[in-house]
Amino acid sequence: MRAVWLTAFGGPEVLVAKETPEPSAGRGEVVVSVFFAGLTFVETQFRASGIGPFGLQPPAVLGNGVGGVVAEVGEGVDPALLGTRVVTATGGSGGYAERVAVDAGAVVPVPEGVPLDTAVALLADGRTALLNLRAVGPVAGQRVLVLAAAGGVGTLLVQLARAAGATVVGAAGGARKGELVRGLGAAEVVDYAEPGWTTDPVDVVFDGVGGELARTAFGLLRPGGRMLSYGLAGGRWSDVTAEEAAARGVTLVTGARPGPGQVRELVVAALAEAAAGRLAPVIGQRFPLAEAAAAHAAIESRATVGKTLLEVR
């Protein structure tokens, strides 16, 4: 089979596609024939520096989320899973490949009518967006500012917050991204690439950027407001302190770390929302498996919108 290997830490060129032995299903495992693999900004950071949550050393195969069909079941696994369309996390490695072996308990069947690419786009970003919305509490009747609103999680937060009754302000860089965010239901769009960008006061900030943009957004919060930082697309985490928040009467919400059971529940919930037509991920870019390096370069360029996928089959 073909797989994309991280041959060293460095630029996108360290990702190299080559023939690799196929995995087999051990006890309690299944082998998934991969159709789509999801990419994340965190993976590009890890590839570049070795810093991140994956605990891998080159040579290794990156990729933490895939969708496909169960092609093999190991001992102790229900044979009825064979042929089932599923999405699954991989434990942090192995996803940039044509086949991957995972724990059978990790796979989530994809509901009928939900395309596999949609399901993969929701696997990580859908559960993150749902978890974030739950963490800040009810938003009906409130103004919600979404930073990085044209990104994978941001596009979903815009939809979810609007459906929950919020007035959504989407912040994104550039006119193209702004048009996308407005089309998803944002009542207002601001271009945070413009110096001095601002908007009227808000009740909630979802911060997927960090850095100075997060600090500017923090300054827009009304007393009693909440801010949740979940990403660092700008290169560093928000440096807003709890003392600063307390002085202004706002709350810095800490995103929860879900256990395995809750992770599965969140993925199932995101897929159910998609099946019902209430949640639609934006898949902005697709690359063949062998062009994983180009996909990483595109994500790092900040020119991408929504989710980026590798097409494996």
Mean per-residue pLDDT for 52-56? 90
> Parallel, antiparallel, or unpaired: how do β-strands 167-172 and 188-191 relate?
parallel
Confidence class of residue 165 from pLDDT cuts 50, 70 and 90? very high
pLDDT of residue 216: 96
Residue linked to tokens 């724990």: 103
Contacts of 259 (CB under 8 A, 6+ apart): none
**Helix, strand or coil, per DSSP, at residue 24:** coil
pLDDT of residue 221: 98
Architecture of domain 125-253 in CATH? 3-Layer(aba) Sandwich (3.40)
Mean per-residue pLDDT for 112-126? 97
* pLDDT at 226 exceeding the cut of 90: yes
Mean per-residue pLDDT for 235-242? 86
pLDDT of residue 261: 82
Instruction: Give pLDDT tens digits for 90-108.
Output: 999 999 999 999 999 999 9
Integer Cα distance of 185 and 118 in angstroms: 19
* pLDDT at 266 exceeding the cut of 80: yes
Confidence class of residue 301 from pLDDT cuts 50, 70 and 90? very high
Confidence class of residue 258 from pLDDT cuts 50, 70 and 90? confident
* pLDDT at 256 exceeding the cut of 90: no
Confidence class of residue 302 from pLDDT cuts 50, 70 and 90? confident
pLDDT of residue 234: 72
Question: In the chain, at which residue ranges do the beta strands (DSSP E only) sit?
Answer: 2-6, 15-19, 29-38, 60-61, 65-73, 85-89, 99-103, 108-109, 143-147, 167-172, 188-191, 202-207, 221-229, 251-253, 283-288, 307-311
**Residue 274's CB: how many other CB atoms inside 10 A?**
22
Mean per-residue pLDDT for 35-42? 96
pLDDT of residue 232: 78
First vs last Cα of the chain: how many Å apart? 12
pLDDT of residue 37: 98
* pLDDT at 245 exceeding the cut of 90: yes
Q: Is pLDDT larger for residue 53 or for residue 95?
A: 95
Nearest to 160 by CA among 276, 284, 285, 302: 276
* pLDDT at 287 exceeding the cut of 90: yes
Topology of the domain comprising 2-109+282-311: Quinone Oxidoreductase; Chain A, domain 1 (3.90.180)
pTM of the predicted protein model: 0.95
* pLDDT at 72 exceeding the cut of 80: yes
How much is the mean pLDDT over the chain? 96
Q: Where in the chain is the domain with CATH 3.40.50.720?
A: 125-253
* pLDDT at 85 exceeding the cut of 80: yes
Confidence class of residue 8 from pLDDT cuts 50, 70 and 90? very high
pLDDT of residue 162: 98
- The β-bridge partners of 285 are 308
* pLDDT at 260 exceeding the cut of 80: no
Q: Where in the chain is the domain with CATH 3.90.180.10?
A: 2-109+282-311
- The β-bridge partners of 168 are 144
Mean per-residue pLDDT for 19-34? 98
**Residue 176's CB: how many other CB atoms inside 10 A?**
11
pLDDT of residue 50: 95
* pLDDT at 147 exceeding the cut of 90: yes
pLDDT above 70 as % of the chain: 100
Mean per-residue pLDDT for 45-68? 95
